[in-house]
Amino acid sequence: MIRGLDGSVEYRAHFRWALLLVLGVFLVLAVRLFHLQVLEGTRYANLAWMGHVTRDVIPAPRGAIVDREGRPLAVDMEVADLMVVPHYLKEPAEAADRLRELGVLDEEGAASLVQRVQQARQDRKTRFWKIPVVRNLQGPRCPEDLTPGVYDPKRQVLVCPVCGRSWLDQRAIVQAHLHELRGFSVQTRMVRWLPEGALTAHAVGYVNEVNAQEVEASRGALRPGDVLGRTGVEKAWDRTLRGADGEDVYLRSADGRRIDPRGLEGPFADLHSTPPEPGSDLVLTLALDLQRVAREAMAPLRSGAVVALDADTGEVLVLYSHPSRAMGRHLQLDRPRRGSSPEALAEEGFLAPQVNKALRPFPPGSTFKVFTSIAGLMEGVIGPDWKTTCYGSYLFKGRRFRCFKRSGHGETGLIRALAESCDVYFYQLGEMLGMDAIAHWARDVFGLGEPTGFDLREYPGLVPTERWYLRHRLSYQPGHALNAAVGQGDVKVTPLALARALAAVVNGGRLLRPHLVRAVRDPATGQETPIEPEVQRTIQIPDAFVDLVKRGMYDAVNGEKGTAASAALQELPFAGKTGTAQAREHRPDGPASLEGWLTQDHAWFMAYGPAQRPRLVVVVFVEHGGFGGSVAAPVARKVLEAYYASRADEFGDLWEGVAGEDLLPLQP
Amino acid sequence: MISSQRRPFSRAVWTALFALLLLLVVGVLTLGSAASYTGERFHETQLVWILLGLGVAGVVAFLDMRFFEQLSPVFYWAAVLLLLLVLGFGKEVNASRRWFSLGDVSLQPSEFAKPALVLMLARFFHGERNPERYTLRMLLRPLGYVALPVALVMMEPDLGTSLVLIAVGFSVMFFEGIRLRSFLTLLGVILLLIPLAWELNVIQPYQKERVRTWLSMSGARPATREEADSRMQPEQALWAVGSGGWTGRGSGQAIQSRLRYLPEMHNDYIFAAFAEERGFFGALGLLGLYGALVVALLVLALRARERFAALVCVGATAILFWQVVFNIGMVTGLFPVVGLTLPFLSYGGSSMISSMLAVGMALNAGLHRGHV
Ligand SMILES: [Zn+2]
Ligand SMILES: [Zn+2]
């Protein structure tokens, strides 16, 4: 069909409609573009600019914890793990053999690798998951003390110049051969390395990752993956150790690459990364060598604690609770203990290695008599010359209070009563003083049964008053005061509080806050901000009274009949007071092997030395240890001996000098 | 066979050619700009496709229209056969069979289905001698011609091409003079068919997902990671287009493109890259070029001497027009993601040659006097 030359009339109308449709549709597109680009343009531009900005947390390195000489106790350390993706390991046996040749795997590890790889390869998903081959590849530093090793070309090993042990630098070996080990990779991570393990476990504590509730409760201060100090200094000083995380801000492309924002226009000028602020290091007051001596001395005993305080500053040089166990999940470097039978483990569990016994209250026994003495003298109940006669027991209101020495001490003055630990003397003193006077001096003045203000959490214990008896025991009996006077009954004090109180007796009446941190150290500059000693209370006691008590403690160690005479040090004498506290326990949950142990007395010894110029206070507590003079005193003696040895210069004049007799007032 | 006489180039032809040339230049420049972000130098290969396409357009434009009229059933049924074959033997890419793989060259039969359908419809209406408007009953055959390739392409599945086929079919019928009542009835039937197709899973799950994505795009934050991922591409395209603003970010400054958040930047999403760099003014200019091309080609249809040539011209123009509309509508979030290229701008031989084929067919109508 042929139409007119200028097109059909029929189509002309349709053409107009078509034109309208085209224009209409394009108008819709144009309006849409106007909406997107002009009306919403700024919003979309901001989305495009800022929508791809990624902010990654750069975790701040946690501060190190070192002892007073700078020896590491807890440090963040990068360790390397050898990993493998099973999918790429077609011949696991071959690879395992190669790793054995290289000295990276032992026979057992090689077998385990083959077995685990074959198992993972069974499953389509798990075959792509990295599995660890060797955790903590041995690096170039000594595993014992972190000293860089020296290469011994003859044996082809690294040798530690400090401790002499030798090892292979597995990290370097693996890196050098990684190209031929298809599917293997080295992955690094940070661990909290606690080189001393159980030795400083209670003082240093441990860290582990925060849980979901803690993250929520912190309101943004903590993020998943952060670690938090759980016990010890790690917990008490967590904020100082932690520092502030930094932030890495950059543009991320769709395929995950990092894009340099320079050269692009827009608001990227405001983007900047912040470096992390490393946490501060802590220099502890602990003396690692003394700590070690304390541990060794306690090793044959079942349970107890040793505390050593600098009498002038309140610095804690030894804080050891026995038994101790390395804690926390970041301790992969700790080798598992070998040869522990199930019985031994059950026994150890019953002895509560996780509890820091230096900060738990126990009945102090006769060590308390020192404070009863001062109370008697200060209250004027007794004069320095007051004497009584001990017949082995004291009858009070129809009840017989026994002396520690059944045969009796005979005529006894204060010095002798302390040196030979006559209970009858103190029963009478207690009767004269009454409960509240004892509590006043022991608690309100010397801080026993009170929190000491120490860095770590403590359980202060109790020095009861009459009021306390009325409230908690319904009635107060005067007999309670007699028991309290010899550190029995309901009196309970912590080894640390006892050490602080003894320090106040021998340092001229300054009750100090015991502290565990000597200085906060800037990790970058090494500059130290010292923690100053803190005098909590000044106690005014006439020198004559103090000398009297000191003389009693001197004789307890150095006198012929002293309760701790067997522990005496001839060359540089120390003084102290024994304690043997009745603490018969019956615990049906305990292992049978410990039943007899539970019936024994707590053994105590508190000492200061040198006797002529008191510098160090040591308190030893042995739970159910028996007699204080023979069980606890030797431990204190070893610590003091080590202390003297480490400060030979300071005590040089005393070593040479005559015995302390010259310096102490001689009294009958 | 009656020989045809050639006409001189009219103003409409010149306009169409000029608009086409500018579109090709814009396309190469945009691909070149994309290369500065991705380092993939597609614009150089694209020059080869352009030359090849121009050759195809030239040959098609100067062939005798009679040739097309006579062979249109052959083309049509060949295209249908190819569509059937590709369902059986096609190369499966992203869970759909759209391509034949012939050594290094890939062939997409649905690209040929579009011009073949146009020729078949033009031939049908050319043969009908009813000056009155068509009733629905008379349209049953041409509707069948549309429905057959649409169904086959849907099965690949390729929703975008199906939509273009439907739109092109309607355009030809509409131009030929369909009754308004019939048109509305057809529209109603199709609107009823969509939910049915949805329910009977003719529309593939991933296509449904895209529609859901599109429906939820303006909504609140994505609830799941999967949703966020499926939303990402269209959403990122919106960010790109929107951040162009009035004048665009300028060459090399397009952040979305630079960070590669437009994965198919050379292809389906090239308009997003263009709009981000050139802004609202640039996008309007591009729409203007497409508008000029489409209108100029429609003018040629009006001047055609015979019904067949006019309808071929309209159909070929409709192919270009709807593909532009669906692509830009998809990139700007007006439609769900259907996966269509933008004629003359998107990279690739298939797209370029099929677009040029359409241009050549449309020009043919304006260049020949028809048979005397
Ligand atoms: Zn070493
Ligand atoms: Zn006695």
CB B356 within 8 A of CB B314: no
**Separation between Cα atoms, residue A87 and residue A328, nearest integer Å:** 33
Instruction: Mark yes or no for CB contact B242/A45 under 8 Å.
Output: yes
Residue A584: Cβ within 10 Å count = 9
Measure A66 CA to ligand 1 centroid, in angstroms.
Answer: 17
Instruction: Tell me what pLDDT residue B97 has.
Output: 66
pLDDT on residue B222: 42
- The CA distances from residue A260 to A269, B128, B276, in Å, are 12, 66, 20
Q: Tell me how many degrees the CA angle A236-A242-A246 measures, rounded to the nearest 5.
A: 160
Residue A547 alpha carbon to ligand 2 centre in Å: 22
What backbone phi and psi angles, to 5 degrees, belong to A384? -55, -25
Residue-wise pLDDT for A379-394, tens only, equals 999 999 999 999 999 9
Task: Report the chain B residue with the minimal C-alpha distance to residue A24.
Answer: B291
Mean pLDDT for chain A overall:
86
pLDDT for A364-379, tens place per residue? 999 999 999 999 999 9
| pLDDT tens-digit series, residues A631-663 | 999 999 999 999 998 887 887 777 654 444 444
- How far does the CA of residue B238 sit from the closest CA of chain A (Å)? 8
Angle between helices B159-177 and B307-331 (to 10 degrees): 140
- pTM given for the model: 0.66
B280 touches chain A (CB under 8 A): yes
Q: Which pLDDT tens digit goes with each residue over A534-544?
A: 999 999 999 99
What does the H/E/C string look like for B149-182?
Answer: HHHHHHHCCCHHHHHHHHHHHHHHHHHHHECHHH
Instruction: Give the model's confidence band at A517: pLDDT under 50 very low, under 70 low, under 90 confident, else very high.
Output: very high
A516-549 in b/e burial notation, b at 16+ Cβ within 10 A?
bbbbbbeeeeeeeeebeeeebeebebeeebbbbb
What is the DSSP annotation of A58-119? EPPPPPPEE-TT--EEEEEEEEEEEEE-GGG-S-HHHHHHHHHHTTSS-HHHHHHHHHHHHH
Q: How many CB atoms lie within 10 A of CB A411?
A: 11
Ligand 1 centroid from CA A146, angstroms: 6
| Mutation for testing the A interface, residue in B126, B214, B243, B280 having most A CBs under 10 Å | B243
| A 54-83 residues inside an 8 A Cβ radius of B | none
A581 has which bridge partners?
A602
Q: Give the closest residue to B157 by CA, choosing from B226, B86, B96.
A: B96
Q: Tell me how far the alpha carbon of residue A412 lies from the centroid of ligand 2, in angstroms.
A: 8
Which amino acid is residue B25, in one-letter code?
V
- Cβ neighbours, 10 Å, residue B281: 14
CB-CB contact of A363 with A583 (8 Å): yes
Core vs surface per residue A98-128: b (16+ CB within 10 A) or e: bbeeeebbeeeebeebbebbeebeeeeeebe
d(CA A632, CA A32): 90
Q: Are B168 and B318 in contact (CB under 8 A)?
A: yes
In Å, how far from its chain's centre is CA B139?
24
Query: Which positions in chain A touch B242 (Cβ < 8 Å)?
Result: 36-37, 40-41, 43-45, 47-48
Compute the distance between CA of residue B275 and CA of residue B284 in angstroms, rounded to an integer.
9
Give A269→chain B minimum CA distance, Å.
15
- Rounded to whole angstroms, the Cα distance separating B161 from B150 reads 8
- Partner-chain residue, chosen from A23, A29, A37, that has the shortest CB–CB distance to B245: A37
User: How far is the C-alpha of B3 from the C-alpha of B6, rounded, in Å?
Assistant: 10
Is A41 touching B (CB cutoff 8 A)? yes
- Torsion sign, CA atoms A197, A200, A201, A205: negative
Span B107-133, mean pLDDT? 80
Sign of CA dihedral B46, B49, B53, B54: positive
Q: Which of B259, B306, B314, B342 to mutate to test the interface with A (most CBs of A within 10 A)?
A: B259
Tell me which chain B residue has its CA closest to the CA of residue A251.
Answer: B259
pLDDT band at A56 (very low <50, low <70, confident <90, very high): confident
- Residue for token digits 């066979």? B1
Q: Which residues pair with A521 in a beta bridge?
A: A281, A528
Q: Note whether B129 contacts A22, CB cutoff 8 Å.
A: no
Q: Say if the Cβ atoms of A1 and B126 lie within 8 Å.
A: yes
Q: Could you say which ligand is closest to the alpha carbon of residue A411?
A: 2
A9 at interface of B, judged by CB pairs closer than 8 A: no
Tokens at residue B241, please? Answer: 């287009």
- How many CA atoms lie within 13 Å of B125's alpha carbon, on the beta-carbon side? 33
Band the pLDDT of B77: cuts 50, 70, 90.
very high
Residue A39 pLDDT exceeds 90: no
CA distance A251 to chain B (A): 8
* Closest to B258 measured CA to CA, from A525, A259, A500: A259
Backbone angles phi, psi at B340, to 5 degrees: -130, 150
Name which of A1, A14, A48 is nearest B175 (Cβ-Cβ). Answer: A14
Domains within chain A, CATH numbers bracketed: 53-78+192-284 (3.90.1310.10), 86-130 (no CATH), 289-328+356-520+532-654 (3.40.710.10)
Q: Which structure tokens are listed for A94?
A: 């071959």
Give the containing element (helix H, strand E) for B14.
helix B11-38
Interface check A27 vs B, CB under 8 A: no
> Residue B195: what pLDDT?
67
Distance between terminal CA atoms of chain A?
Answer: 149
Q: Do A264 and B255 touch (CB under 8 A)?
A: yes
Is residue A233 scored above 60 in pLDDT? yes
Alpha carbon distances (Å) from B329 to A29, A39, B204: 7, 18, 21
CA distance A130 to chain B (A): 24
Highest mean pLDDT, choosing among A176-180, A281-285, B110-114, B136-140: A281-285
**CB-CB neighbours of B147 under 10 Å:** 13
The nearest alpha carbon in chain B to A49 belongs to B255
**Which residues between 124 and 143 in chain B have a beta carbon less than 8 angstroms from any beta carbon of chain A?**
126, 129, 131
* Confidence grade of residue A335 (pLDDT, cut at 50, 70, 90): very low
Task: Tell which residue, B172, B171, B73, has the closest CA to residue B116.
Answer: B73
Which pLDDT value is given to residue A538?
A: 94
Q: In the predicted model, what is the mean pLDDT of residues A268-277?
A: 75
- Looking at beta carbons, which residues of chain B come within 8 Å of A32? 329, 332-334
> Span A76-81, mean pLDDT?
82
Of B177, B240, B263, the CB nearest to A48: B240
ipTM of this complex > 0.95? no
- Contact A10/B275, CB-based, under 8 Å? no
Report pLDDT digits (tens) over A292-331. Answer: 999 999 999 999 999 999 999 999 999 999 888 876 544 4
Closest residue to B334, CB basis, from A18, A32, A52: A32
> Quick one: how far is CA A538 from the chain centroid?
30
Best mutation site among A26, A31, A40 for testing chain B: the one with the most B CBs within 10 Å?
A26
- The two beta strands, A65-66 and A281-284, are parallel
| Cross-chain Cβ contact A52/B261 below 8 Å | yes
Which residue in this structure is represented by tokens 């860095």?
A455
Calculate how far, in angstroms, residue A233's C-alpha sits from the geometric centre of ligand 1: 26
A2 touches chain B (CB under 8 A): yes
- Which ligand is the nearest neighbour of the Cα of A486? 2
Cα B248 from Cα B272, distance rounded (Å):
11
Q: Assign A3 a pLDDT band (cuts: 50, 70, 90).
A: very low
Taking an 8 Å cut-off on Cβ atoms, the answer to whether A37 and B283 are in contact is yes
User: What are the pLDDT digits (tens) for A601-641?
Assistant: 999 999 998 998 899 999 999 999 999 889 999 999 999 99
Q: How far is the C-alpha of A230 from the C-alpha of B85, rounded, in Å?
A: 71
CB contact under 8 A, A6 and B307: no
CB < 8 Å from A in window 281-300 of B: 283-284, 287, 290-291, 294-295, 298-299
Which are the contacts of A244, defined by CB distance < 8 A and separation ≥ 6? A60, A276, A277
CA distance B267 to B262: 10
Distance from CA of A122 to the nearest CA of B (A): 28
Cβ atoms of residues A344 and A402 within 8 Å: no
Q: How far is the CA of A421 from the centre of ligand 2 (A)?
A: 7
Q: Which CA distances in Å does B234 have to A275, B178, B239, B241, B272? A: 36, 36, 9, 11, 10
Supply B142's token pair: 């041409």
What's the whole-number mean pLDDT along residues A243-260?
A: 72
- In percent, the amount of chain A with pLDDT more than 90 equals 47
Question: Residues B277, B87: contact at Cβ < 8 Å?
Answer: no
What value does the mean pLDDT take over residues A426-448? 95
A4, two tokens: 């007119």
> Contact at 8 Å (CB) between A108 and A115?
no
The answer to whether B159 and B207 have CB atoms below 8 angstroms apart is: yes
Tell me, in angstroms, the distance from the centre of ligand 1 to residue A165's CA: 6
Centroid of chain to Cα A318: 12
Highest mean pLDDT among A223-237, B198-212, B231-245: A223-237
* Residue B316 at interface with chain A, using a CB cutoff of 8 Å: no
Question: Are B131 and A11 in contact (CB < 8 Å)?
Answer: no
| DSSP 8-state assignment for residue A337 | P
* Span from the CA of A195 to the centroid of ligand 1 (angstroms): 11
The 10s digit of each residue's pLDDT in A107-143 is: 888 999 999 998 888 877 777 788 888 888 888 888 7
Q: Does A152 touch chain B (CB under 8 A)?
A: no
At A607 the three-state DSSP class reads strand
Q: Which of A274, A276, A261, A269 is nearest to A226 (CA)?
A: A276
Q: Do B253 and A10 touch (CB under 8 A)?
A: no
Distance, CA A629 to ligand 2 centroid (Å)? 16
Mutate to test the interface with B, among A22, A33, A53 (most CBs of B within 10 A): A33
**Which of A 240-299 lie inside 8 A of B, CB atoms?**
251-255, 259, 264-266
End-to-end CA distance of chain B: 11
